[in-house]
């Protein structure tokens, strides 16, 4: 028998590419059902990306850059596009659930994949809890406008901001949980309807807002100079986060090699177009100095133009609906990532169990929703916002690096999409992520270091001993698994 693999070998072992697909194009577990097409998957990407940020973001971004916030949105869109293109290539080459966790497993090794999985836990679970917390506030705003009624702060305000338990957030997570357990197809249908409605609300804002457009409001165009434009670009970049949710659905997509990159690029185009149009109309409809401290966001702009109260009600309803859609997709993505990690043996077997009736990973979904509901109910999440950004940017950088590694180690691999301008695009993507990480405060680095330390402890105590690669190596001790195994077309 060969010697037992060393810890270093265990940390660096990579999952062979041929294990990600089978000759039938199904996922290796055969558990999840391929029911999603290009349109539904694109709606998942849009639903995860367009949140309440665009409804209220101009109030914080315009004071930083003035009318030149339009350029800030364009710069942020370029940074998001660099990463999205890298996701599109890896999604077409490794067409399974798990997002950047799976891509890291195929390119960087087992512990890197495990660490990325923990970063995704920050991106999805913690941000999902923050979204659920804020839902109660927007719901209160809507009920106040419609019925002159609000829930007490004690049960609707964020913990630490006058609230004791965020009941609306718990209810929202619970409703999304029931829908997700029912089935991916049903969840995608409901998400599609909600996304189309909130897109309609934004289109209405553009159509009505353009009637109040005054080119004089664009002067001076860049009162804060390039520094202000860059600062605002960093602010609005996070309105683009969510496009990677498409890649968590790899095992439930028909013809994933074609559908995954198509949905990622399609969602990017729709989101970017809407964001820039909203920015142009917003800064053209009122002086840029009027945005300072403007809490009602797009609602206030339409109210000034029309002189009526209905725009505020409509935009408030759009914000409420937007949060439901984002929460649904975030919970969906996190449960699929946990499912994939369970399938690889990195988490206990319960995570990979799929309900024979609904075809969904019920345990992973219930645990995800329970954890997010607990965070939303009782934890103040303001301090974790930057930590969420750190985890997201780290995952983005890994994907871009993975593109370059896979181009070298598996040059002949069948890819449904190739990053244009290679290797410039992935390099620029890594640099953009690095710049935004550099801008984060020191306490975020310390928290992130503690988070990765915890990841290492769990890996050493459980995951490295129970991973499927470890089980496969046990009979002979051989861990020299091929990086570029035979790859079939999905």
Which CATH number do you get for residue 251?
1.20.1740.10
pLDDT in tens, 197-225: 889 888 888 888 888 888 899 989 999 99
Q: For residue 449, how many other CB atoms are within 10 A of its CB?
A: 10
Q: What is the rounded CA–CA span in Å between residue 162 and residue 340? A: 39
Per-residue tokens: 389: 């950004």
pLDDT score recorded for residue 341: 92
Structural domain boundaries enclosing 236: 30-465
Residue 473 located in a structural domain: no
3-state secondary structure of 36: strand
Beta-ladder partners of 36: 253
Q: What is the rounded CA–CA span in Å between residue 59 and residue 298? A: 9
Residue 37 located in a structural domain: yes
Mean pLDDT calculated for residue range 329-339? 90
Q: What 8-state DSSP symbol labels residue 218?
A: G
Residue 360 located in a structural domain: yes
Residue 324 located in a structural domain: yes
What's the pLDDT band for 486 if we cut at 50, 70, 90? very low
Quickly list H helices, 122-245: 127-147, 153-156, 167-182, 184-209, 225-237
What's the pLDDT band for 488 if we cut at 50, 70, 90? very low
pLDDT score recorded for residue 234: 77
Beta-ladder partners of 253: 36
Q: What is the rounded CA–CA span in Å between residue 54 and residue 301? A: 13
Per-residue tokens: 400: 């871009």
Mean pLDDT calculated for residue range 129-156? 83
Per-residue tokens: 204: 């209405």
Q: What is the rounded CA–CA span in Å between residue 260 and residue 251? A: 11
pLDDT in tens, 72-113: 999 888 888 898 899 989 888 888 777 889 888 988 889 899
Mean pLDDT calculated for residue range 412-428? 89
Q: Which residue shows structure tokens 């009027």?
A: 290
End-to-end, the C-alpha distance of the chain in Å comes to 36
Using the predicted structure, report yes or no on whether residue 441 has a pLDDT greater than 60: yes
Residue 140 φ/ψ, nearest 5 degrees: -60, -40
Cis peptide, bond prior to residue 423, ω within 30 of zero = yes
Q: Compute the mean pLDDT over every residue in the chain, rounded to the nearest whole number.
A: 82
Quickly list H helices, 410-441: 424-438
Residue 325 located in a structural domain: yes
Using the predicted structure, report yes or no on whether residue 477 has a pLDDT greater than 50: no
Beta-ladder partners of 159: 163
Q: For residue 193, how many other CB atoms are within 10 A of its CB?
A: 12
pLDDT score recorded for residue 304: 67
3-state secondary structure of 159: strand
Neighbour-count burial for 309-347, b at 16+ CB within 10 Å, e otherwise: eebbbbbbbbbbbbbbbbbbbbbbbbbbbbbbbbbbbbb
Mean pLDDT calculated for residue range 290-318? 70
pLDDT in tens, 343-386: 999 999 999 898 888 888 999 999 999 999 998 888 766 666 67
pLDDT score recorded for residue 485: 37
Q: For residue 99, count CB atoms less than 10 angstroms from its CB and return exposed for 0-12, middle for 13-18, buried for 19 or more.
A: buried
Cis peptide, bond prior to residue 208, ω within 30 of zero = no
Residue 4 located in a structural domain: no
Q: Do residues 332 and 180 make contact, with C-beta atoms less than 8 angstroms apart?
A: yes
Per-residue tokens: 81: 């596009």
Question: What is the reported pTM?
Answer: 0.82
Segment among 30-39, 184-193, 368-377, 471-480 with least mean pLDDT: 471-480
Per-residue tokens: 267: 């969602």
Q: What secondary structure, in 3-state letters, does 234-289 show?
A: HHHHCCCCCHHHHHHHHHHECCHHHHHHHHHHHHHHHHHHHHHHHHHHHHHHCCHH
Within 127-169, strands assigned E span: none
With CA atoms as reference, report the closest residue to 253 among 471, 61, 5, 42. 42
Beta-ladder partners of 163: 159
Residue 13 φ/ψ, nearest 5 degrees: -65, 140
Residue 239 located in a structural domain: yes
pLDDT score recorded for residue 424: 94
Domains identified in the chain, total number: 1
For residue 376, how many C-alpha atoms fall within 13 Å in the half-sphere facing its CB? 32
Segment among 20-24, 105-109, 413-417, 450-454 with least mean pLDDT: 20-24
Q: What is the rounded CA–CA span in Å between residue 331 and residue 322? A: 14
Residue 16 located in a structural domain: no
């Amino acid at each position: 028998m060969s010697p037992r693999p060393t810890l270093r070998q265990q940390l660096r072992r990579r999952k062979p590419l041929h294990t990600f697909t089978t000759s039938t194009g199904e996922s290796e577990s055969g558990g999840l059902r391929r029911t999603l097409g290009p349109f539904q998957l694109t709606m998942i990407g849009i639903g995860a990306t367009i949140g309440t940020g665009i409804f209220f973001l101009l109030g914080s971004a315009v004071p930083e850059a003035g009318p030149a916030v339009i350029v800030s949105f364009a710069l942020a869109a370029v940074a998001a596009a660099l990463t999205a293109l890298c996701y599109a290539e890896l999604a077409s080459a490794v067409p399974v659930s798990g997002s950047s966790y799976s891509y890291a497993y195929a390119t960087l090794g087992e512990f890197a994949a495990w660490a990325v999985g923990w970063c995704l836990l920050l991106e999805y679970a913690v941000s999902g809890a923050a979204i659920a917390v804020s839902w109660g506030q927007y719901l209160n705003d809507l009920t106040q406008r419609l019925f002159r009624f609000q829930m007490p702060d004690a049960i609707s305000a964020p913990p630490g901001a006058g609230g004791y338990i965020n009941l609306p957030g718990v209810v929202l997570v619970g409703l999304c949980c029931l829908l997700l357990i029912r089935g991916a197809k049903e969840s995608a249908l409901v998400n599609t309807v909600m996304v189309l409605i909130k897109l309609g609300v934004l289109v209405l804002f553009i159509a009505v807002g353009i009637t109040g457009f005054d080119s004089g409001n664009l002067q001076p165009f860049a009162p804060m100079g390039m520094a202000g434009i860059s600062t605002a670009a960093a602010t609005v970049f996070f309105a683009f986060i969510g496009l990677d949710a498409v890649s968590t659905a790899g095992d439930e997509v028909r013809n994933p090699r074609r559908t995954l990159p198509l949905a990622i690029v399609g969602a990017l185009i729709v989101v970017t177009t809407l964001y820039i149009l909203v920015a142009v109309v917003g800064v053209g409809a009122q002086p840029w100095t009027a945005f300072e401290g403007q809490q009602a966001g797009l609602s206030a702009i339409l109210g000034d133009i029309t002189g009526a109260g209905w725009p505020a009600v409509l935009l408030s309803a759009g914000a409420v609906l937007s949060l439901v859609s984002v929460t649904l997709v975030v919970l969906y993505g996190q449960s699929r990532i946990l499912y994939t990690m369970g399938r690889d043996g990195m988490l206990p077997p319960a995570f990979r169990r799929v309900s024979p009736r609904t075809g969904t990973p019920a345990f992973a979904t219930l645990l995800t929703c329970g954890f997010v509901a607990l965070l939303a109910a009782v934890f103040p999440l303001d301090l974790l916002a930057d930590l969420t950004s750190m985890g997201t940017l780290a995952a983005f950088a890994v994907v871009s690096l993975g593109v370059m590694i896979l181009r070298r180690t598996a040059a002949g691999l069948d890819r449904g999409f190739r990053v244009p301008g290679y290797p410039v695009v992935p390099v620029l993507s890594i640099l953009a992520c690095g710049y935004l990480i550099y801008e984060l405060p020191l306490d975020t680095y310390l928290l992130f270091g503690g988070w990765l330390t915890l990841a290492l402890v769990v890996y050493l105590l459980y995951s490295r001993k129970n991973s499927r690669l470890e089980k496969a190596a046990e009979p002979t001790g051989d861990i020299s698994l091929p990086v570029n195994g035979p790859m079939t077309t999905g």
